[in-house]
Amino acid sequence: MAGLIGLDWGTSSLRAMRFEADGRLLETRQRPWGIRVLPEGGFAAALAHICEGWPTLPILASGMVGSRQGWSETGYVDTPAGPADLAAHCVTLDTHRDQRVRIVPGVRDAQGPDVMRGEEVQVFGALSAHPERRADTWLVLPGTHSKWVQVREGRIHRLHTLMTGELFALLRTHSILGAGVPDDAGADETCFLQGVETARASSASGAFSRLFAARANVLDGRMPAAGVPDFLSGLLIGEELRAAEAAGWTDSAPLLVGDPSLCERYRRAADVFGWRWSDTCTDAAARGLFLLAGLIGDAASVPPAQGAA
């Protein structure tokens, strides 16, 4: 392999990573060109613009770009799903002739049912940085749709989606709870921890039965209106941890994967629950894309059916 361009292409943004042949990351570029907010010229134009000045290299893309609303629909691989399964089911774009563009499939857990697109690449990237955890572990990928992923023998075994980030945005922007919050409300650690503690204390009834507290506390003079966003953030992240604990998803120290500042919020919330978290992996997408590209190179010489085994 002469090198690689990796694309992490989601709903709201596009990130392009240029790798050397030895896996070294030379440059990363980011644009607000998610699959719902493309520039004029659509997918092909977005790709051409973000790669401007880079040499012609194989391209491997993951995320919502492979969904029905994406560039080319790429199916799901069922659990248990390992890197070789993903590599064997990548789809090569036939609409883009100058450069070979492949898209990674999503992963489907039929037991939920539950699905993901993009996070599966981060899972294997994170495991490549922590090979000692491949045998049996949980990974947590916070975000708009948080993913809790159980790995056994190096393959994704179970998968659970919690809509924490999307619920936070809905409540902050559109609900009565967000009304009256000043636009320049700064960070409020006390309210964040109060939200986490409220979720923890909600026990089996769950934090959504305590959601209105964000308003009642303000009316009662117990919380500043500017503290509502952090209270809600703490309440929803706390609810995610509470639900995971109640469902028995956790092991002793799940691996936290993703945006550093968001991971830091989860770490502070976990302290309230008395959890220990292991390392945080913040370059998981880059690692995962390069890993899969290597497997595709290998897999090209064997029939897909064997590659999927």
Catalog residues that contact a copy of itself under the rule CB under 8 A: 108, 110, 112-115, 145, 160-163, 166-167, 170-171, 173-176, 203-209, 211-213, 215-217, 219-220, 222, 239, 242-244, 246-247
Nearest distance from C-beta of residue 120 to a copy of itself, angstroms: 15
Residue whose CB is less far from a copy of itself, 56 or 203: 203
Residue whose CB is less far from a copy of itself, 37 or 300: 37
208-233 burial, b at 16+ Cβ within 10 Å, e below that, comes to eebbebbbebbeeeebbbbbbbbbbb
The candidate with the shortest Cα–Cα distance to 228, out of 262, 269, 178, 183, is 178
Nearest distance from C-beta of residue 38 to a copy of itself, angstroms: 17
Three-state SS at 6: strand
Q: Give the separation between CA 285 and CA 121, rounded to whole angstroms.
A: 6
Nearest distance from C-beta of residue 136 to a copy of itself, angstroms: 21
Q: 305 and 153 in contact (C-beta within 8 Å)?
A: no
Residue whose CB is less far from a copy of itself, 174 or 276: 174
| DSSP assignment string, 56-77 | ---EEEESGGGSTTSSS---EE
CA distances from 277 to 30, 140, 190, 220, 253 (A): 29, 10, 22, 36, 5
- What would the two tokens of residue 133 be? 């955890």
Residue whose CB is less far from a copy of itself, 135 or 179: 179
Chain centre to alpha carbon of residue 108: 15
Residue whose CB is less far from a copy of itself, 4 or 181: 181
Nearest distance from C-beta of residue 216 to a copy of itself, angstroms: 5
∠ CA 144-47-285, nearest 5°, is: 45
Residue whose CB is less far from a copy of itself, 47 or 107: 107
Q: Give the separation between CA 217 and CA 219, rounded to whole angstroms.
A: 6
Helices (H), the chain: 42-50, 83-88, 119-129, 164-174, 189-201, 213-219, 228-247, 260-273, 284-299, 304-308
Residue whose CB is less far from a copy of itself, 47 or 81: 81
Residue whose CB is less far from a copy of itself, 211 or 262: 211
- What would the two tokens of residue 207 be? 């934090």
Q: 56 and 100 in contact (C-beta within 8 Å)?
A: no
Nearest distance from C-beta of residue 130 to a copy of itself, angstroms: 26
Nearest distance from C-beta of residue 302 to a copy of itself, angstroms: 29
Nearest distance from C-beta of residue 91 to a copy of itself, angstroms: 17
Q: 258 and 142 in contact (C-beta within 8 Å)?
A: yes
Nearest distance from C-beta of residue 245 to a copy of itself, angstroms: 8
